[in-house]
Structure 1
Amino acid sequence: MTAFTLLLALGVGAAFFGVLRRLTIVEQELRRVESLVARLEDRQARAASPLVAPAPAAPAAEPMREDARPPARVVAAERIHARAAEAPPAPARTAPVDAPERAPLNLELLIGGRLPIWIGGAALVLAGVFLVRYSIESGLLGPGTRTILAALFGLVLIAASEAAWRFPATAEDPRVAQVLAGAGVASLYGTLYMAAALYHLIAPLTAFVLVVLVTAAAMGLALRHGPPTAVMALIGGFVAPLVAGFDAAGIAPLLVYLALFISALFGLAIHRGWGWLALAASIAGFGWINFLIVALAGREGDLSAVGAFTMLLAACASAALPATGTRNPWLRLAPLVAGFVQLLALAPSLDFGALAWSFYLVLAAAALFLSWRQALYLPAALAALGFLLALEGLALLQPERAATPIAALIATLLFALPGHALTARGRGWAALALGGTAGPLLVAQLCAPSLLASAAWGALDLLAAAGAAYLAWRHKSETDDPILTAASLVAGLLAALGLAQFVPDAWLGVPLALVVLGLTAWARLARAPSLFVLPALPYLAALVAAWSPLGGLIELTSTSLAGDQLPWLHIPPLADLFRALALPTAALLATMLDPRMLGRARRFVGSIAIGVGILLVYALAKQVLAIGTPERFVTFGFVERVMLTQACLAAGWYLLRSGRLPSLASVLLGLGLVRLVWFDLLLLNPAIVLQQVGPFPLFNAAVLHAALAAFWLWTLPRHSAARAGAALLTIAAAMVAVRQATHGSVLIGPISTLENGGYSAALLGVALFWLWRGITASVYDLRIAGLALLTLVTFKVFLVDAAALDGVLRILSFLALGVVLIGISWAYSRFLARPAVAVAGEQ
């Protein structure tokens, strides 16, 4: 029986396709004749007008041009016949001549002018459906009377659409008539489905005939009012079974209803050439199939019917899309592919003595001599230096190394002296000077630190640093010079290493901070761009040297980010932190006051320094309240977070507004926002984790926190991201105010009906304020934000608030909501209809 019914539905759909195809051809011919008659009347009127000179007649030998004006005395019927014979074949589908030209779609037009009115129409549809259901479940009237009243509700909506189409106040906005007509059609579909399939008030054959009649009416209304009516009918027809209970009368009647409804949509799409409608109907049909596959798991008989419906839908959609004028081959294949997928888803290591070293040193001397004679050999000298450094390192790692230190000293003199003497010849000799000065010393110090005492190493390092610094001074210039940059870098490295020999290991931050300041002063003196990057290197070295306290800060950060309520317990000793990290960080941040410092590395290294500095300030700030017990966390946890977050936001806001240190300002502001979202909204939300926010309505930590954060963003220079964040924070402040007002200092607890309504009221107030302010102050962003929030509140009322209502209250709420939204949309569309110059000036 189910298969027979589905085949019957397919046959009816095919018949619709054939009849509507013929109607389309006839309509095209009528439109062409009407176009010719209108063109003839226009030319006759121009020929008869005394203000317009008649066009000269074309010579008889020339064929008539399309723009030539024929004499007015030609009989209209003959003219129409001749023009029709010469005219090229009409396209498959032609839009009406008097079809209005569509305005370009934009977000404000969509949200403010279209979306609310569509939602309002859907509300009217649901109101009619709930009216029928409520009246039947309550037993107020007899089944026949109730069905007639429901049908009258749909007819009243259609009649109201006709009145709105003719009434001057609403005729200027055709969408009012469109949405009312669509709502009426959708209401009739829903009424027929519930009356026949759910409550068995009418026979299947009668219901089928009535569905055909409603479909014909929907087609006529869509021909008159255009796509919006078709969209409303589509939405209403597909949503009606969900509202009534999709399986209340069994799956077979539901599939028959869907088959007939989709067939009607396909017919209308073919008749008007609306490929989008056929595609939308196909997508909705496959959506129902997926829903039914999940809902009917384990019910083999019903799933077989769904499989038959899937096959029919794929075939019909593949036939309907080309008939609507769709040329994209992928879209044509999509229904079949989707059908196959749905059906598939349905089925389940040298010994080094003095003699050996003499060989290597003599060879190196020979290379240097040849390089002195001819520059061609200079690369060989450079290679010899590298080779000797590698050998030195290997030799110093051996147990017997008596000759190696002497060899290292000889190598230093061998390369450094000629290098410094001949550095004017070019960069290669400068490289030999730097390599000979620092290379053997650094390798020996690295591989055999026990050879000399720390003070001896320090003295040698400082002596070598002076040699490198002298080389840099000789090449001082305001342009980038690789010799200058390399010599400055080597001098800084040797100075840091030499100074470090005179202080304990825990105080390495002091020599590194001094080197940062020294390189900064040298860069500002020499003014070579490449020198401004060098202070970043000793700072990075300071971070590496302070790996232990830095690791403590990283652990503190990770535990805090993971939601530890007592991160104060993980803070490293403050003496270690400030001795190893604070001095280098402070030195680098001080250098950043000069915008030239750090050069291309400013963003990366500066961000690291700012981050370390913030962590140090954070560790210090955590000492104030010293939250080390759960009880103190409940009392002061949220307040402490608010103070820290607001300090970041306020500092970033001030720096951005004053134009100082924009990089630091961005980091602080971003940190504050991240803290707010991660800790206060997600991880340690006081509505989830027990914390006290304060007993006073509005003047409590939670509300002030969100409100202040919104204020910082609203008052920043105009930026779309900042204003979007400000809007979200404003919404959060309104919701927190409602939550605190209903729960007190502790925000944990269930959401009551009063609180739920308070959310809707507060958000509605914010939306209306934004709309009012956006219109009066001509602020486009505020209008968009107000419209978006109004839409969200509307959906909340639909999906949440209305679920708590039943009976008459639900019906009245949907009726009132639909009327109000239609009114808002109509009024806002009048605002959008103001002169284009004024609207463009606002935007």
Structure 2
Amino acid sequence: MELLPLVILIVGILVLRGHNLRIKQLEARVQELQNALAGKMLTEDGSESIPVPHLTVHPVAQPVDDERQAVIDNGSAAETGEPADARGVDDTFEESPSPVESQAPVQAKESLESTIGARWAVWVGGIALAFGGIFMVKYSIESGLLSPGVRLTLAALFGLFLIAAGEVIRRRVAPVLNNTFQNAMIPGVLTAAGVVALFGCTYAAHGIYGFIGPATAFTLLALISLATLGLSLLHGQALAGLGLLASMATPALIASTAPRPWILFGYLVLTWVATLLASRLRRWLITPSLANGLLSLWPLFYIGFSPVVDLTPVTLSMLAMIGGTLFLWPGRYPVLEPIKHDAAAPAADGISLPLTAAGQWTAFLGRAPLGMTLTAAVGALTVSLCLITFSLQQGYPIVDATFMFAAIVATVAAFGAGRLYAAWATILSALTGIVGVFGVLTRWIAGIEAGGTDGTVNLQSMVLYEVLGLGALFVLIGAFFLRRFAGQEKPYAALWSLVMAATPLAIATISFVNFGNWTLDWLHGLYGIGLAVALIALAEWQGRRNGEGLNLPANILAAGSFAAAVFALHTLAHHATATILLPVLGIIYLLAGRLRNWPVLPWTMVAALVIAMGRIAWQPTIVDPSELGTTPVFNMLLAGYGIPAALAVFAAFIVRHSPSLRLRNALQALACFLALLTIAILVRHAMNGGVLNDAVPTLGEQSIYTLLAIGASATLMALDLSAASPVFRYGGMALGVISVAMILTLHLLGLNPFMTGESTGRIPLFNLLLLAYLLPGVAYGGLALFARNRRPLPYVIMLALAAAVMAFAWATLSVRRFWQGEYIPFWNGFIQGELYSYSVVWLLIGIALLGLGTRFEARSLRIASAALVFIAVVKAFLIDMASLEGFLRALSFIGLGAVLIGIGLFYQKILTRKKAAE
């Protein structure tokens, strides 16, 4: 009886509000007719619009494609959370032929009064009703007026009354409400309050008073939740969210002494399917996204807190979620316009603007319904990783956990391949597959001993078969996608081509590194060969279907095929065999490029040479050092370095007419580098008694390297003159600069026998000084002459000065060897004849350089001549005057004076000739 006045008051308020709304509706229609007679129209919210002449009113035909209409409605229905049919347009105004263009009505901004009166009042009123019921129950408990059974009965009746009142108001009043207030509908608020009351009293009957058992309470709560989902079809998406939360929370509220995971996840999946069906009927996107997230959280709680875990129902629930998303809702959610190269982005004013290059290739990542795609994919994949983690930590059978993990990942990948809006499912499934396999194999290997039992070996083999099978599934799923969508979805097809090539290869690499036989592994080798053949076959198929050239999927698949072949080569061969066969494999793909116009094929040769150089850096001896041998030249170094170098030269020759400048430059640079490296390593091996180590090279060995650099610079210059290439041009100049740096730092300082005391050899002329100084000097002179008028003047001057410096060093050190013998270190001191000889030799060299500079009109040589003469003058006045005595001192100054006078006379004659010629 205490509740009767409250009920009467609520009913009276609702009836009065209904009458007020009907009166407002009639007033609005009368005003609309009056404005129509005056040539005006009312906007939807009742504000006055701009007059629009020559408008004809007629009904709009419904579109044939319901799904396409759903996409159009998505911008409003999904955002507001209300049924699509509640927003149907009754009439549409179309402009009749007139020179004056019609203008859209100007929508008036909603006032603060409207917001408070029409929206906040409803929301706060619903909350007030819920609190009123709670306070009434609290008062009855504190006063002891009613027994628990009566209180629960009255609460249930109150909830049913609110639901009934909401339905009555919906039928009598809701049809006249404006669309503006769809998110503040009174019937939905009343129904939600009634649902809360029913749910609360049912739970109290079980959890507080114990009137009903767990099974009855679970059944009643589930029925209330499912009934709420059914009512949401009438009252909107917000009520559906409330029913979903209640459904998902029901198992957590009812304690069970004997947990049954199959019943638990069966109920959760049933609730999720009911939510999805309601969402499909009303084209909702927010509620099913929430359902995906909640269904994905339950496995995490179950695995984390349940004492006994069965992963099978967990896996099946995730498969059901992905399957329902794939086929039920959003299912075949339409994509209005496939992404093409000429796609345009709609602007704010309705004008289509060209997409940027990045936008063309990433627009498919943001396709609706993005929220449902992400929640389903992220939720399922998170659970799959949780299965692996639980198995490794708690000892759950690793084979079963790996199989379940692979099943979920493959299903998500199939979701990405079956729906054009599910690009993120493709990306996330590939990444999760790689991460999960890495976690399984790296964490599991730590607990396996080298000499495991037969059972352990069999278990290991089964896990390897499962992870390799997962990689193969990506190829099959990708082929399915390319068959259906490659022609119309170029960017997405390129993504799938990358996924189906990279994912199985990454999985196989992780497996081989952790459990493979590094000497000969037929399992991973045959897997790599099969993957390479499959990918190149798919590339050929794509090339035939969609044309060659810039066919990105075909090129990606061909590159993946090469990578798989490289993987197979490393699993079936090692040491020198793998290093030698890598360039051979690159040549095969390069020659295939002459049959198929795929730009990626020639670049595989570049990749093969880079990988081969990486192997050489990892093992410079090519084979085990004990197997190398000491025979100069004809050993495994010649094959390991020489064959890749020869194939690089051959590849550079093949692509010499290629339109790709970068490709030509890359192969030419690699060919030059490998050729020089081959010669240098053979010299190193021969000069060190057949041993390759990190010892500092001797002056003789370094001299050979310098001569090689000078010769290579000349060779590249000659190649550039015959076939112009920036690699030859700048590479040759770089080698020249490097060689000059070597003579300055090593020949003249670090390895100079005057500094180190190294033996110069027993033969007076043909000794170390000839190899280290004279021959490089002559080579620099020839290179400077060859580069003259062909290379920048500073570079030519540098070479000429280097030649002069090396000649000066050879002559000076040869004089010291003449007087000192085989060993010429500075700590042996100097003798008078030696000092005098330096002056004579330096002056002679200066005169020779002056003559050569005049003959070839080389100013750099004349400057070098002046520098030598200046050095001789300084030496004569500072050293000879103090150190020489008697006849030698007089002879030194007499010779110096004669030479200086002769040089002056020479310059006078040259200057006189130049003036006469002018």
* TM-score, normalised with respect to structure 1: 0.47
Larger Rg: 2
Bigger relative CO (Cα 8 Å, ≥ 6 apart): 1
Question: Could you tell me the TM-score, scaled by structure 2's length?
Answer: 0.43
